[in-house]
Amino acid sequence: MMAAGFGLLAGAVSAQVKPGDAFPPIAAAEFDGVLPATAGQVVLVDFWASWCAPCRASFPAYARLQGAYAARGLVILAVSVDRAPAAFTAFVRKLNPPFSTVRDRGQKLVREVAVPTMPSSYLVGRDGTVRFVHAGFYGERTERELRSEIESLLRERPPPS
């Protein structure tokens, strides 16, 4: 299962979404799970897999970010690239995250974003533009960087409706 995940990611790197790009429409993909409302919010989209140890390590950090910033306009959406629904369900049941988790059932969004590695997170401004990308999760360093980036994005004014 791990090799299949890496093969999917490696084949898609050429069109990788980067800072300054519009994040692809989330609702266009098919998901297991419920999508949160994201319009006008700062959104952290994290791509993960049940077999990925750094992904497991990232979830407690994202839970802390959720607690610190959700009331101010941060939405966290953790997108599983697991092909097996049971692997996704077991991971979510075990970690019980306080943020939205979905499974990219057809691998549409992960292909469209061209996720380079597991985990990878995309911090999207209120205007839908990717502002920061984190390939991998490096513990306290990544959490510290995300906090700084989230703070700066939350201070920005929402785009006019």
Distances (CA, A) of 143 to 62, 134, 152: 8, 10, 14
C-alpha 96 chain-centroid distance: 16
Task: pLDDT band for 86, please (50, 70, 90 cuts).
Answer: very high
- How many Cα atoms occupy the beta-carbon half-sphere of 110 within 13 Å? 29
Mean pLDDT of the chain: 90
- Mean pLDDT computed over 51-66: 97
First to last CA, the chain: 44
Q: Cβ(33)–Cβ(103) under 8 Å?
A: yes
* pLDDT reported for residue 4: 31
pTM for this structure? Answer: 0.89
Q: Cβ(119)–Cβ(47) under 8 Å?
A: yes
Task: pLDDT band for 93, please (50, 70, 90 cuts).
Answer: very high
- Mean pLDDT computed over 41-64: 97
Domains with residue ranges and CATH for the chain: 2-155 (3.40.30.10)
